[in-house]
Amino acid sequence: MGSKNSITLLVVTILFLCFFITNSYAIEISEKINKESLSSLIEKEPKNFQFLSDVLTLKDNLDDLSLKTNIKAEYVPGEIIVKFKNEIFKINEINFLNNQLSFGVPSLDLFNMENGLLNVEEISNNYSHKILKNVYKFSYPEDSDVSSIIEYYKKDKNVVYVEPNYIFHLLNIPNDNYLSQQWALNQTNDCDIDAPEAWDIETGDSNIVIAIVDTGVDYNHPDLAANIWDNIAESLNGIDDDSNGYIDDIRGWDFYNKDNNPIDDYGHGTHCSGIASAVTNNSVGIAGICWNCTIMPIKIGGSYGIPLDAAADGIIYAADNGADVISMSWGGYFTSTLISDAIDYAYEKGAALVAAAGNSNTDMKLYPAAYDNVIAVAATNSTDEKADFSNYGNWIDLAAPGVDIYSTMPTYEVFMNDNYGYSQNYDTCNGTSMACPFVSGLAGLILSKNSSFSPDEICTILKSSTDTVTSDYYIGRGRINAYSAILKDSVPLAIINSSLANSGLTGVVNISGTANGSLFTNYSIYYGEGLYPTDWTTINFSSFMVNNSILAQWNTTLVDDGIYVLKLNVNDSNGDYSEDRLQVEVNNVINVFFVGGMGPSNYTYIQDAINDANDGDTIFVYNGTYYESLMISDDINLIGEDQ
């Protein structure tokens, strides 16, 4: 999956620079490298040469080329997340030695004493899956050098991974008797999700649980209270009656404040809850996509943001306590092993995971939306155009309304009232945060009609039933349509593996994926030119099922370089069909672009050359001083004149 990243050059004199950009660093790094070691470093660690926000400083001496990247990902001061290879210690065995925490690992105890380790906390008490075992949060003084601590832990043989306790951010944009204000459900120009038509068939089942993993929920709101999850196995008695590791969690859990009261003191989670499943047809307030689905309130953040450990615990709690759908209207431009593991855990337990794609108007991948087992949701406006703030790119699955979305707000004063001027009870918000619960609510509606659908089947239905969007950028298959989705009674699986989207395609490529189902008859795979093709050329037709294997081979030398979309259609004997699409880039011809110098076709600005370049192309920069903020995409080679 491609991504585009911001690189800031401050008074940069180009003498020698050649690097590939393919993945992202998550924390601040600083390295000294010379021209002999540069190529070998790139070859060994190409993933280390993609940056979200960077400063490049190139010195005159080729043997003293300094490369410094400065990532702006935020994390909780003094905190790290560590997964150990084995259960090398128990949390109740941790003790104080000379007024310092000690847990019996000689290789780390001395280091922790010297660095003032304050606390060790188990991330999850769930041991039913190996990916969740032996993961801990270590807390040091807030002024500690987290980067140095992480580097030390990385060298220890007992450690599987270590990362900062990153902070995710919410993805809204600050500033039934109300059904007329909910254009996204129904409007005259039909740029809506056709909710009333879907409601003629299905209005939702209270047995379907949608977890709103967010800032909490105003569970007493008159338009939400009747749909709030009730943990009937738990009582308010100070005892963990259901033995799930949480005492008195009668309506969810607060992982931000670590208590059993997931009340919303921010406003964001309540707004998302109303979109997904406000109580409907009750002569009060607004209508939710799913009238009767149950809302599980899980609080993982607030005005400070969303700590990594709280987010992971929230996802795990939702999966362990029966959530059918997990809605995540937050994210960050970094990857996390802990969050990835939590996502995979929930997916394996059968939860459909939905996440907002972000509001930065960029194709940089935002996580958790960009993980494979998550449905990534972009935002559209009331005319089915890409919302001007919405992220885009070939990692997006589909879009949903995200502009001027009217929904519930807490009935009491919260952060969004005091700091952003929002009203209590109900108000309008913008963002992919709002688009996300539209999809989560629709997933709940689909499951209400057929609770046997798997997460992959839900994703296939959602992507196979969309309406066309208007966008100069790729925002997924299209905008969701609830009526088209709810009509599907059977669903052959149609999945194109996303690996082809990671770089430019050359020569003959294998298109892999899945085309199967209990009533499967055949599949076809096509290509079309551009972001949203209207003309398609068949690559392969087959009446044989495929399960995560090769669907077709495509000779890309037979087409011009450029952007294409692959389309997989799968048919079954019921007359139903499913569809998946993947945006890819063909780049068989390697071009060289010149910046500076005296040539008649030379570029004045590096960014202009980058805009015209494709994967694998080279940009040759003549000596000079360039003041620019750059967006460098994929595998572009930058070469200085004196190489």
CA dist 23 and 300 (Å) reads 28
Catalytic residue positions, numbered:
214, 268, 433
DSSP structure string for 152-169:
HHHT-TTEEEEEEEEEEE
Question: Quick count: other Cβ atoms within 10 Å of Cβ 472?
Answer: 10
Q: What single DSSP character describes residue 468?
A: P
Q: Dihedral angle at the C-alpha atoms of 175, 179, 182, 184, nearest 10 degrees?
A: 160
How far apart, in whole angstroms, are the C-alpha atoms of residue 256 and residue 244?
18
CB 258: neighbour CB atoms within 10 A? 10
CA triplet 376, 587, 475: central angle to 5 degrees?
20
Residue identified by tokens 């089947």 is 457
Contact 215, 170 (CB under 8 A): yes
Helix/strand/coil percentages in the chain, nearest 5: 20, 30, 45
Q: What angle do CA 84, 86, 90 make, to 5 degrees?
A: 85
Nearest to 161 by CA among 128, 123, 125: 123
List the strands of the sheet with 508-516, edge to edge.
493-496, 508-516, 546-555
Q: Are 8 and 53 in contact (CB under 8 A)?
A: yes
How do strand 493-496 and strand 508-516 relate by DSSP bridges? antiparallel
Give Cα 228 distance to the centre of its chain. 26
C-alpha span between 57 and 8 (Å, rounded): 10
Report the C-alpha gap between 430 and 416 in whole angstroms.
13
- What distance in Å separates the CA atoms of residue 255 and residue 245, rounded to the nearest whole number? 13
Beta strand segments in 177-276, E: 209-214, 253-254
